[in-house]
Chain A
């Protein structure tokens, strides 16, 4: 069964550095998402992306965050200047026809900001 893959599985970075989290969604999916989960807390929506543009974003997704689909297969999340509070597990998800159709999640990237 096709799956969403995320790399790296664990990223450690220093505060103020830029990070790029990478995701390869399922190939025939058209809708893409980033969620994050701070340790012990709920899974929070960050952004949804369709047709090469952001369709929705949360208050968390401020100017420090950006998403891109650079080559038709990858879907990336960039954090320009990381803060300690960005430490979390970041999940990429994709779906065929939007958030009300099953979201297929990757295994996540654990980001640790020191």
Chain B
């Protein structure tokens, strides 16, 4: 069964600084990987996804993520964060035979002015 680990519960960065949120997955075959964001009081919104091909994927709001099979990782990055990026970020994994995706525990991002 697939699983996702997000080792950081909270991350604090200054506005304008770069960001990297970590995600490790466990799955025997090629995974389908996602990053979702949850702003306060709202549902989750898809930022980006990786299915195959180029291991660096671009998403909305200036985010990107890199799939590294050798490290079983799919880390989310942004070169310069904005105060509006403060939210909770969830990494998720799916498989083509399943009709579900499994989320990690999430990383809450705090932005310092």
A residues in contact (CB < 8 Å) with B? 4, 31, 33, 35, 41-45, 48, 50, 55-56, 58, 91, 93, 98-100, 102-108
Are A98 and B43 in touch, CB under 8 angstroms?
no
Are B99 and A41 in touch, CB under 8 angstroms?
no
B44 in complex: contacting residue of A55, A58, A103, CB < 8 Å: A103
24 example contacts (A-B, Cβ-Cβ < 8 A) are as follows A4-B43, A31-B99, A33-B100, A35-B103, A42-B90, A42-B103, A42-B105, A42-B106, A43-B90, A44-B103, A45-B101, A45-B103, A48-B99, A55-B99, A56-B98, A56-B99, A56-B100, A93-B44, A99-B94, A99-B98, A99-B100, A100-B96, A103-B44, A104-B43
B51 is an interface residue with CB less than 8 A from chain A: yes
- Interface residues on chain B, number (Cβ under 8 Å): 22
On chain B, the residues within 8 Å of A55 by CB distance are 99
Known: A42-B106, A43-B90, A93-B43. A103 touches B99 (CB 8 A): no
Are B32 and A107 in touch, CB under 8 angstroms?
no
On chain B, the residues within 8 Å of A31 by CB distance are 99
On chain B, the residues within 8 Å of A104 by CB distance are 43
On chain B, the residues within 8 Å of A58 by CB distance are 100
B100 in complex: contacting residue of A42, A48, A105, CB < 8 Å: A48
On chain B, the residues within 8 Å of A45 by CB distance are 100-103
Are A98 and B103 in touch, CB under 8 angstroms?
no
Question: Told that A43-B106, A91-B44 touch, could you supply 7 new A-B pairs with CB distance under 8 A?
Answer: A33-B100, A56-B98, A91-B43, A99-B99, A100-B96, A103-B46, A107-B43
